[in-house]
Structure formats: structure tokens, C-alpha cells
Homo-oligomer: A and B are copies of this chain.
Amino acid sequence: MDKQTITIYDVAREAGVSMATVSRVVNGNPNVKPTTRKKVLEVIDRLDYRPNAVARGLASKKTTTVGVIIPDVTNLYFSSLARGIDDIATMYKYNIILANSDKNEEKEVQVLNTLLAKQVDGVIFMGNKITDELRAEFSRSRTPVVLAGTVDPDEQVGSVNIDYEKATEEATTMLIDNGHKKVAFISESHEEPINGVYRLNGYKHALEKAAFPYEEELVLQSEYTYKVGEAVYEQLNKAGATAAVVADDELALGVLNAALDRGVNVPEDFEIVTSNNSKLTAMSRPRLTTVEQPLYDIGAVAMRLLTKLMNKEEIEEKTITLPYTIGKKGTTK
């Protein structure tokens, strides 16, 4: 009953070879005579032997697992990236240890440490702010790190993203070109470079080109949830905004529905451009106009980059910028 674990040693004995040979056939080492290989394979099959990955990890110092730090799996932006990451990881025979960080800086550091303790071969980090402490941990270990959908002005680790600044500028300009004088910009904390530096700069550039003044009431910092949409819309309304560039789809959808619930016509009286291209954008009525980021690809390319780093291959460029477009749907004219 208590089926005891069978080891490489059992296989060796049963097949009349040394464990080194068994190890070789298990690992596909070509230096094994076909006859021997066949015999060993037969015993492996008969005994239903399965290599213990933990022992292998200890001996080889490779675990074939990578850590993925994600703010929240329940957010479609991040889960879409995660999907791309996992698919490529699987393709390269890696497994994923997924850890939610809640965008909590303390938890991020803690999670990173347990990931490193588990000897992951690499780490993919999502989340918009790289604190100094986190950066210190990154460089302290020799474990390669890649940021996915996350910018770090201090480009020490690999990263994959789109040009957030240009995308935001384009979105804002589009709204201005549609005749709006009061275009709002809503994102999470400006302490996150992706918002406070890149996107905000894009927004400002668009204003400058149009010779519009920068008005503080039009720039909001809000968490990315659907339910704050109401409150955010009220603020926009109060500020006199007639259009908004929103950095998150759930939030954008909340704002859209708040407007609709108040009888506002979208896009006639109010226009919205969102930023993440998650499947939510296709599910609203009208559909959300969005910056079309290649979410899956960002994850996939990040994981691909990480495999190269783990493999110590030469990398041309540690920072990869993927293309985007603006997908005009129903929330803009």
C-alpha cells in the first residue's frame, strides 16, 4: 500500500547498470549504447520510475522553475501577461511559481526572497514601482530578472513593454483633435514611473503641442478598480472634462458605465480612451477605444528573454519595446 518511492538506484540495480548510466538515459545523454538505453528505458517503464526534481535541482543547481510576481491574478491586464509567460515557459520546460504581491512593496520583497530561497532559475516581475529595496535584492542575487509590462528608468534588468509615453501622447492628441478642450488623464500613483514619468509626460506633450495649459484638476490618481469609476466620473465632471485618457481598463469601464448611468451619451458628449487592451474593452457597449498593447506577447517575449538570460546567451538588447496601435472603437468619435 505504502508505495515507496523508487529511485534511480532501484532502476540501476534492476537494469544491471550503474546509476550514472540511468542518469544519462534519463537526461538524454547520447553517450549510451542503444541496447543499454533500451534496457534501462524498459526498466524505468516497468518500475514506473519518475525522477525526483528536487534531488535533481540540488545536484544540478537548476530547478527549471521561474518565479512570477504578479500584483493580482484577478486583473485581466496581468493575467493576460501571465498567460503569455506560462505558455512560453511550458514550451521551454519551465514551471511557474506564481505569487500575488498586491502591489505591496513589503510583500514584493518578501515574496522575491522566498522565490530566491526556492532557487528559481529566474524571475519575472510585474508591478509598476521598483523600490530601491527591491532593486537591491535584484542585484544582490545572480538570478536573472525580467520586468513584464513594467518600466524601470534604471535599466539594470531585462524588461519588455511598449512606449507608454508615446502611446499616451497619441491617445491624448486624438482626443484633442476631436475638439476637446478639457482632456483628463487618470492613472494610478504618479510615484510609479510608468504613470508619473512616461504616461504623464506623454499627456503633457500632447497638451503642449496643442498649446493647452496643464490643469491639475484634470489629472487624477486613482486605484485601478471598477467600482471607483463612479467617484472618478464625478470628479471629471466637476473639473469640466469632456474626454479622458484612462490607464486601466477596469477603471475605464467603471467611468464609462458611470457616465452612461447618468444619461451621458458616449462618445457624443464624453469620450474615453483606455490603455490596456484587455478583453474587457470588447465587452462594453459602446466598446472601449484603447491603446492596443500586445498583452500576451509582452508576457511571452519577457519569458523568452528570461530563458536567454538563464541560458547565459548573448543578449542584444535587455530592454525590448513592442509595437502598439490605437484601436478606435465606440468610446471615441
User: Which A residues form the contact surface with B (CB < 8 A)?
Assistant: 2-3, 48, 50-55, 57-58, 63, 65, 68, 72-74, 76, 79-80, 82-83, 86-87, 90, 95-100, 113-119, 140, 142, 226-227, 250, 253, 257, 260-261, 279-280, 282-285
Contacts and interface: CB of A to CB of B under 8 A. Distances in A.
A226 B74 contact: no
A84 to B, nearest CB: 10
Contacts of A250: 279, 283
A97 B54 CA distance: 14
Among A257, A279, A282, residue most surrounded by chain B Cβ atoms (within 10 Å) = A279
A86 B58 contact: no
A-B pairs, top 3 by smallest CB distance, nearest first, are A98-B98, A53-B118, A54-B57
Among A54, A90, A282, residue most surrounded by chain B Cβ atoms (within 10 Å) = A54
A263 to B, nearest CB: 12
B52 A283 contact: no
Contacts of A2: 142
Tell me whether chain A's interface is mostly helix, strand or loop, or mixed: helix
Contacts of A115: 95
A58 B283 CA distance: 48
B100 A97 contact: no
Contacts of A83: 72-74, 100
B95 A118 contact: yes
Contact of A53 (B82, B87, B117, B260): B117
Given A226-B282, A257-B283, A283-B226, A53 B100 contact: no
Contacts of A72: 83
A283 B284 contact: yes
Given A50-B117, A116-B50, A280-B283, A98 B96 contact: yes
Contacts of A100: 83, 86-87, 90
A194 to B, nearest CB: 22
Among A55, A98, A117, residue most surrounded by chain B Cβ atoms (within 10 Å) = A98
B279 A257 contact: no
Given A253-B283, A283-B283, A284-B283, A142 B54 contact: no
A74 B63 contact: no
